């Protein structure tokens, strides 16, 4: 042990004597820690189409429910299928490359599978019906400004943890019974 401490002291003295080496060590540490963070976070969620939420919800004033059909009645809000896109994209809409691709997919009848972005752990029993249909919560209460994004985000805009749920339940006087969400 004593030997190691002595080695470390010598090493620190060497690095101090040569500031250039210190910079290299710091840069290497930065790269390694960045790589660890990136690996820990995972690759994120990739979507088949670079869907522009802002275009659809703000410029075209479409309702969230148009594509997320079960948001008021079901546990899951649902993601749009190709048929939903085809309601408008049968003919070319707009000038973007992505819009042209959607029309192409519709013409070919190839399925389009969007990936879920917000995921809850399997022991959490949440229903959109209770929160949106009955409780009349706005989408942005939990999903942040997803409606204003121009590209699909790789990671959820809001980190939904139990504290996040409980904060709201406390403020609005809703149940804080464990079995209301966990069973």
Partner 1 sequence: MPRWGMVIDLDRCTGCAACEVACKSENNIATVAPEQAALGRTISWMRVMAEVEGEFPNNTLRFAPRPCMHCDNPPCVKVCPVEATYISPEGIVGQIYPRCIGCRYCANACPYTVKYFNWYAPTWPESERAHLNPDVSVRPKGVIEKCTFCHHRLQKAREEARAEGRELRESDYQPACAEACPTRAIVFGDLDNPRHRVSELRHDPRAMRLMEDLGTEPKVYYLTPRT
- Binding interface with partner 1 (CB under 8 A): 121-123, 125, 127, 129-130, 133-134, 177-180, 182-183
- Which of residues 17 and 178 has its CB atom nearest to partner 1 in the complex? 178
Least distance between partner 1 and beta carbon 76 (Å): 10
- CA distance to 129, 157, 167, per residue, from 144 (Å): 19, 6, 16
Least distance between partner 1 and beta carbon 112 (Å): 25
Least distance between partner 1 and beta carbon 161 (Å): 13
Contacts 24+ apart (CB under 8 A), 113-116: 113/48, 114/47, 114/48, 114/49, 114/51, 114/79, 114/80, 115/45, 115/46, 115/47, 115/48, 116/45, 116/79
**CA dist., res. 183 & res. 167, Å (int):** 20
Least distance between partner 1 and beta carbon 83 (Å): 25
- Which of residues 89 and 131 has its CB atom nearest to partner 1 in the complex? 131
- Which of residues 161 and 182 has its CB atom nearest to partner 1 in the complex? 182
- Which of residues 7 and 125 has its CB atom nearest to partner 1 in the complex? 125
* Radius of gyration (C-alpha) of the chain in whole angstroms: 25
């Amino acid at each position: 042990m004593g030997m190691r401490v002595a080695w470390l002291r010598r090493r620190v003295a060497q690095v101090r004597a040569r500031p250039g080496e210190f910079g290299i060590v710091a840069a290497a540490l930065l790269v390694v820690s960045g790589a660890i963070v990136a690996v820990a976070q995972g690759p994120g969620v990739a979507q088949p189409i670079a869907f522009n939420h802002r275009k659809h919800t703000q410029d075209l004033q479409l309702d969230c429910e148009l594509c997320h059909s079960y948001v008021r009645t079901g546990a899951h809000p649902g993601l749009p299928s190709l048929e939903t896109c085809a309601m408008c994209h049968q003919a070319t809409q707009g000038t973007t490359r992505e819009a042209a691709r959607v029309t192409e997919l519709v013409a070919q009848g190839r399925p389009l599978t969007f990936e879920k972005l917000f995921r809850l752990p399997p022991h959490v029993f949440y229903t959109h019906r209770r929160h949106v249909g009955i409780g009349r919560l706005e989408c942005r209460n939990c999903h942040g400004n997803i409606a204003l994004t121009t590209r699909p985000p790789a990671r959820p805009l809001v980190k939904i943890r139990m504290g996040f749920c409980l904060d709201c339940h406390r403020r609005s006087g809703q149940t804080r019974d464990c079995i209301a969400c966990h069973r």
